[in-house]
Chain A
């Protein structure tokens, strides 16, 4: 019986259903918070589940291309003001007319099958840090927060 391991070579990331090129890494963190039910006189903590939080981050290298993937991420958050108005829209989804607030993000592991293994969720991009430094490639560090539980999980 052989075992399959996966490396960074098998990883990819899809934003709004489109594969993002030049992703250097992605991470996903799911945490569960607990509520203590320990009462007076008991020695050891006891818990019930309260809630779950899923968030993550990725690093996307910037490169000059018409369909620049890092630029697609960046443009969801960093937007120019609207005319004389000092404000800019906060919507991050593709449906601008529908004022869609969230984006679709799929974290994928290519296992050779058609769809691969993946987690897909509706996310808010909560932070983008652009880093330009001597001797390094211009890159965007992006953090995201899942809105609710993932839509699809196939791991």
Chain B
């Protein structure tokens, strides 16, 4: 089962960073060492407001399928609906990353049969 393909109602994205380690001398001079060529640790937060419980359940099922925060997976183009920039800008694959759950999906029951789900993903190499 793939990650659900609904268009979210809100989305936030942190681009992550390259693996850089910074050393600071006592005189204030800074030295940085680049440990890799791929940006990583990008965070994608998706919120699905007022969706049916059946749709909400798909996130819970998928979370089980990938064994929670253990396995990684690809996300589909639909998740980037409304974004008019380059599709790979919000993705993880360009930099050799795949997404995994940063934490379990958070579900809030709004009324009978309707829920709001928030999913937090993190890109890892």
Contact = CB atoms under 8 A, between A and B. Distances in A.
Interface of A: 35-42, 48, 50-51
B50 A36 contact: yes
Nearest to A50: B111
A51 B8 contact: no
The 8 A-B pairs with the shortest beta carbon distances in the complex, nearest first, are A40-B82, A41-B82, A39-B7, A41-B81, A35-B50, A37-B50, A40-B81, A39-B9
Given A41-B81, A41-B82, A35 B111 contact: yes
B67 interface: no
Interface in B49-64: 49-51
Contacts, number: 39
Contact of B8 (A35, A36, A39, A50): A39
Contact of B50 (A40, A42, A48): A48
Contact of A35 (B6, B83, B110): B110
Nearest to A49: B111
Contacts of A41: 7, 81-83
Contacts of B95: none
Interface string B1-18: 000001111110000000
B6 A39 contact: yes
B114 interface: yes
Contact of A40 (B11, B111, B114): B11
A35 B114 contact: yes
Contacts of B110: 35, 50
Nearest to A41: B82
Among A39, A41, A50, A51, max chain B CB count under 10 A is at A39
B49 A40 contact: no
Interface in B5-54: 6-11, 49-51
B81 A37 contact: no
Contacts of B81: 39-41
Nearest to B79: A40
